[in-house]
Amino acid sequence: MNTSPNPLNSNDSLSQNATDLRLYDTASKTVTTFEPIEPGKVSLYICGATVQASPHVGHIRTTLAFDVIRRWMLKLGYRVTLIRNVTDIDDKILDKAAAAGQQWWERASIYEREFTAAYDALGALPPTYEPRATGHIPQMIDLVNRLLERGHAYVVPTPEGVPSGNVYFDVESWPQYGALTHQETGTKAADEQAALADSMGPSIDTTTANKYSPVDDADTLASKHGPRDFALWKASKPTDPMTARWDTPFGSGRPGWHLECSAMSHRYLGEDFDIHGGGLDLRFPHHENEMAQSHAAGWGFAHRWMHTAWVTQKGEKMSKSLGNGLSVSTVLAAYPAWVVRYALVSVHYRSMLEWGDQMLSEAQAAYERIIGFVERAGKMLSWQPTREQVTTVPTDQLPTDFVNAMNDDIRVSEALAVLFATIRRANTRMNENPSDAELDQLRNDLLQVRAMLDIFGLDPLDPHWIQPGQGQQADAAHKALDRLVLQELTDRTTARHAKDFAQADAIRDRLTQAGITIEDTPSGSSWHLED
């Protein structure tokens, strides 16, 4: 597990802007002021990967969305503890490993490494800690016993009257069940967002199989007391290898999926923590069940719930079961990692993100605009901010509209609009033979732009993006474009000297149609991509 310290956690005091941070809460369906349990600190639990197969961009969207949220909190001066789990024991892992002739733990390890590589390639900060489910079986057994003792769980016996290994949470024993998703008799969605989620994925409180979330065998047993009861502990199947069985007072078996996250979040963040996050498809049943069992155990649990919307492709949720998942490795073979990250973080975390060539083309164009400005301004100033200067810019030195957008439930589209407006103004300033005072302003603009980009993990001069194999392809493309455009400018100058203004205008028009702006100055012509 990657537990290296995060240098961004070095802030010792909160920004004055920290008290203005407002975030959405799935349970209350409102955007409210964020008030941490412990002043100056944020405790955050994110449901991580079930490591059954290679990651696709749908998985990574949630990780990167919370990466931006975390980076903004760090910029505000909070010390952030982020726990992101790994589910390394699961029916799908067992079944796929058996089909492939693998040990289940071997398969889990292979794909855990793939997920870690994908997170790293796309610039996600490492979590504070990344616990595996299989490393926390004692805590899970303790939680089951606690629920049994408090009358919120029951053991299913065998025909002989001995514990079978199946233990269920008794939903009828907990009247507050449904507090997260606000179910109405198990059939009606709570709000517009929930209705959209349910139309594309699991229906609320259903026990029937569907294409997105096949029902666990344990959830269909006739021995359950009620149809909504869910498995805390699951009896071993005859096909389960011995290494996937744990002996307990309630029988041999392995943990239920929902139990795992409650036990691990409690282990590292305590009985109360600030935020529980994950993908929208986890809202029900996973997070609803986590919430119920944790509160029933007597814990305060998460004070706020945040969910990221799905990545869709042609209107369908990106999912392995539908065969439309684009693996991260495939996407990164076709596009620079910076471009892929930009595409995934440039849409508000609660908005559906339609994946396709148009989105990636727009992200590539954004890169060209950004790197063009950064390089051009740096050349004019004969200066670039250091990484330390970029990362230590306080929020009160960032554009007010940018700060307001980020503090209003992380509205990244509005924040990026401020960033590009800053670039446009700076480009205009550079076009007009700037004075010394205007060069000082340009210096500040360059620092602000890179600082804003860094909050999205997108500073193009961050060493992460210029490592071999990451920034080289884009840099080579920019240099090739520069050579082609400069040849066009040379031909245009020749035409103008020959008073062939029709040809000169045709060259300008051709470049303009390609999205290239020409700047004529007394010292010659230069170019940049349109803003």
pLDDT of 505 over the 90 cut: no
Give the pLDDT band of residue 402 (cuts 50, 70, 90).
very high
Give the pLDDT band of residue 471 (cuts 50, 70, 90).
very low
C-alpha 19/C-alpha 35 separation (Å) is 8
Give the pLDDT band of residue 477 (cuts 50, 70, 90).
low
pLDDT of 529 over the 80 cut: no
The pLDDT assigned to 210 comes to 44
- 191 vs 497, more confident: 497
pLDDT of 476 over the 70 cut: no
If we measure between CA atoms, which residue out of 83, 79, 81, 99 comes closest to residue 91?
A: 99
The pLDDT assigned to 467 comes to 59
Q: Where on the phi/psi map is residue 427: left (φ > 0), alpha (ψ -120 to 50), or beta?
A: alpha
- 478 vs 254, more confident: 254
The fraction of the chain above a pLDDT of 90, given in percent, is: 70
Least confident span in 84-88, 204-208, 298-302, 494-498: 204-208
Give the pLDDT band of residue 207 (cuts 50, 70, 90).
very low
What digits encode the pLDDT tens for the residues 405-450?
A: 999 999 999 999 999 999 999 999 999 889 999 999 999 999 999 9
Structure token digits, residue 446: 């360059």
Mean of all residue pLDDT scores within the chain: 87
Give the mean model confidence (pLDDT) for residues 508-520.
81
C-alpha 267/C-alpha 224 separation (Å) is 29
Can you list the positions of beta strands (E) in 319-426? 353-354
Give the mean model confidence (pLDDT) for residues 76-88.
97
The pLDDT assigned to 10 comes to 42
Q: Taking the CB of residue 35, how many other CB atoms lie within 10 A of it?
A: 11
Give the pLDDT band of residue 495 (cuts 50, 70, 90).
confident
Furthest-apart CA pair in the chain: how many Å?
A: 103
The pLDDT assigned to 525 comes to 67
Q: Taking the CB of residue 527, how many other CB atoms lie within 10 A of it?
A: 17
26 and 306 Cβ atoms separated by less than 8 Å = yes
Structure token digits, residue 35: 């008030």
The pLDDT assigned to 204 comes to 30
Least confident span in 162-171, 216-225, 332-341: 216-225
Give the pLDDT band of residue 507 (cuts 50, 70, 90).
confident
The pLDDT assigned to 203 comes to 32
If we measure between CA atoms, which residue out of 402, 261, 325 comes closest to residue 61?
A: 325
45 and 276 Cβ atoms separated by less than 8 Å = yes
What digits encode the pLDDT tens for the residues 324-380?
A: 568 899 999 999 999 999 999 999 999 999 888 899 999 999 999 999 999 999 999
Least confident span in 235-239, 246-250, 374-378, 521-525: 521-525
CB proximity list for 441: less than 8 A, separation 6 or greater: 429
Give the pLDDT band of residue 192 (cuts 50, 70, 90).
low
